[in-house]
Structure 1
Amino acid sequence: MTELLHFSRQLTTEAQAQASGVGTWKQHYEQLSNGRFEGLSEDLHLDFVQVFHEHANQTVLQHGLGRPGALCLAVIDVTAPGSWYCGHDLDGRRLIALSPQREFELLAGAGMDLMAVCVDTEPLADLAATLFGPDFALRMPVPAPVERSGFDETAFTRLLGAALSLARDNLAQLEQPAARHMLSLSLADAVLQCMGSDAFEARLPASSAARRHIVAKAREYMQAHADEPISVPDLCAATGVSRRSLQYAFEDVLHLSPVTYLRVMRLNRVRCEMQACRDDTIGDIAARWGFWHLSRFAIDYTRLFGELPSATRARWFAKS
């Protein structure tokens, strides 16, 4: 998808609103840590390039698909322990790749900061043929961290930051076709500098891959039966593993027990539905997601999101 020029910047108070702030992406966010969510989303589209920036103060589980028909690279900075991207541990600043054909999963610890650039593959391939010759094969990466010897992540991040800063402070300058074109080329060239046959690190240790597979099967079952009284034996049957293996897999991958994750998933669904279904009572929405003890629901909701369900709804009604 090509959009000549568009820029948006928003401060977010919902994890899913943060997900929606990145145009052309299909993704879902779930808040996992307790407290009020505070996020920032900046999104710039110019010609055949997209640049965006995200920051969040809470731990968020993200999954989905990136910009269709585009090669995407991002620099993510995480300080909270336990963060990972598609099963690969993250610590400090890392360069990661995203594929338009394969879904990604990111467990981003509290305080995560991410800057990304996506370049449509057709103009990127044309540029690569011009720079490196017609035999250069543009290779689609798998969703994984990138290891590229000599690649300057600081300069790469500085370039993305400069593009967003220009859009934030003087978007009119980018209305000039020549300025917009030169910036697009600079961003595309930065992506090509990272390309190489040995750049993309995709293989996971067998034990890590097995635990991720268990959690993925359990989450798929949970989401398909979220409004039913799911038990741990149900999850063991759905995944074909023992209670202990299920517990270990969830604690290793999501740092939560299966029961705790199920509750958090349902609370995130209730929060989204309270905004979408404004004619329904909070009690009715909570009941639809299996919360039959409403005072217990209110306590769990307040602990996760830092406010009562009634305060959430009142704030949203005041905005509309």
Structure 2
Amino acid sequence: MTSLNPLRVQAFTTADVAEQVRATPGWAQHYQQMSPGHFAGLVRCLDLQGVDVYEERMNTRVEQSFSAPSGSLAFCFDRSDNSLYVLNGESRNIWITPENYQEVAVVFGPEFVRGHGLDVAAMEGLFMAPLNSQQNALFSSWLSSTLTRLSQSLDSPDEGALAEQLLEDCLFILDNACARLAQNELWRRTEERNIMRRVCEWAADSPEETVNLLELSHIAGGSLRQLQSAFKAYTGMTPTHWLRLRRLNGARRELLKARDVTVAEVAMRWSFWHLGRFSSSYQALFKELPSETLKRNGFRLPLKHG
């Protein structure tokens, strides 16, 4: 991991999802890789004394289970589809990024929110809903280029003026996005967000538990159709595929910390009843066999096959 420079603009290049999480302190986050390949990420951040600006890039699909900083108000711009997501300090959700994901975000801290009298409660119904505005793409591009300019400049910005400008811009964009929302669309997005919130809470509280599709819909408090619609909107994949990848990530965590188990035992614990299919699926996602994970972790496997 590398970092720079004297203007409080910092850049971190990362080689795994754990490093990506550590590069953004203050957020309660858990990342899991959800597409094949060696992970490569970048995080850039600017500290404006109460307002933080972030840019994040990741080359693989990643499941992000996260909570925003307590008392904060965050504006997150997804550059893959130019959507805005607004989060408050209680936002807790699951999001699965596309490959080669880019996002810029402005996070207004608790003191800034209180000092400016921002009525966060009035935004209820908008949190975690994809909001569209003609200004989204322009603003996110400007914010990314501003981070680049400040990281290369010897002149320190007027932090207070920049923070005020960011607030004004974000509220203007939010106002325009709200004007485009139909009431029935807002209701549907609220229901989908509630479903994903319940799924996220279960996933965070029971990381080692495996369930089937019907059990997951019961946890989510919706029908199978509602569950599938919510997953499509928020993750871009089916709930069945998500459950399978979650099991693979759980098996990997166990293999990375194991010393006295076999691949077959780990596969059975995570409900992979066919060892060959487990090994091939694992290799497709992580670019190595389960047996290679164990060997790399210092354990010599007595089993001849992955």
**Superposed pair shares fold, TM > 0.5:** yes
Letter in 2 for 1:198: D
- Note the 1:185-264 alignment, pairs <5 A: 185-195=161-171, 198-199=175-176, 201=178, 204-207=185-188, 209-210=190-191, 213-214=194-195, 217=198, 227=208, 230-235=211-216, 238=219, 250=231, 254-264=235-245
Measured in 2, the distance between the counterparts of 1:286 and 1:228 equals 14
Shift of 1:286: 4.6
Structure 2 residue 10 is the aligned partner of structure 1 residue 7? yes
The CA deviation at 1:264 is 0.7
Contact 2:104 2:143 in 1 (8 A): no
How far did residue 212 of structure 1 move? 5.2
Conserved 8 A contact 1:8-1:44: no
1:270 aligns with 2:273: no
Give the TM-score of the pair, scaled to structure 2.
0.70
Whole-angstrom CA distance in 2 between matches of 1:308 and 1:290: 18
User: 1:56 maps to which residue?
Assistant: 58
Q: Do the aligned partners of residues 35 and 162 (structure 1) sit closer, same or farther apart at CA in structure 2, a change above 3 Å counting?
A: same
* Counterpart AA for 2:128: P
Q: Which moved more, 1:103-112 or 1:153-162?
A: 153-162
Query: What's the Cα RMSD here?
Result: 3.9
**Are 1:144 and 1:200, in contact at CA under 8 Å, matched by a contact in 2?**
no
**Aligned residue type for 2:175:** D
Give the structure 2 partner of residue 111 of structure 1. 100
The residue type paired with residue 259 of structure 1 is: T
Q: CA deviation at 1:25?
A: 0.9
Aligned partners of 1:72 and 1:98 also within 8 Å = yes
Matching of residue 143 in structure 1 with residue 128 in structure 2: yes
* TM superposition shift of 1:93: 2.0
- Provide the identity percentage: 26
**AA partner of residue 38 (structure 1):** A
Mapped partners of 2:233, 2:170: distance in 1:
31
C-alpha contact (below 8 Å) 1:124/1:188 kept by paired residues: no
CA contact (8 A) 2:77 2:83 kept: yes
* Gaps in structure 1 of 5+ consecutive residues: 79-91, 129-136
Letter of the 1:190 counterpart? L
Partner-residue secondary structure (3-state), 1:193: helix
The corresponding residue for 1:157 is 141
Please tell me whether the aligned partners of residues 227 and 288 of structure 1 are also in contact (alpha carbons under 8 angstroms). no
Where does the alignment leave 5 or more consecutive residues of structure 2 unmatched?
Answer: 1-6, 299-306
| Aligned partners of 2:129 and 2:189 also within 8 Å | no
Q: Which residue of 2 aligns with 1:95?
A: 84
Tell me how far apart the structure 1 counterparts of residues 230 and 56 of structure 2 sit (CA, whole Å). 28
Deviations 1:203-240, CA, capped at 9 Å, x for gaps: 64545554555565566556666656633444455557
* Contact 2:202-2:219 within 8 A present in 1 as well: yes
Paired residue type of 2:287: G
Change (3 A) 1:161 1:315: farther
| TM-score (structure 1 length as normaliser) | 0.67
The residue matched to 1:24 in structure 2 has which SS? coil
Partner of 2:85, secondary structure, is strand
Which sits farther off after the overlay, 42-51 or 241-250? 241-250
User: For residues 45-102 of structure 1, what are the alpha-carbon distances to aligned partners after superposition, in whole Å with 9 as ceiling and x for unaligned?
Assistant: 3532322221122233323112333332232211xxxxxxxxxxxxx32333221232
Distance in 2 (CA, whole Å) between partners of 1:70 and 1:226 is: 27
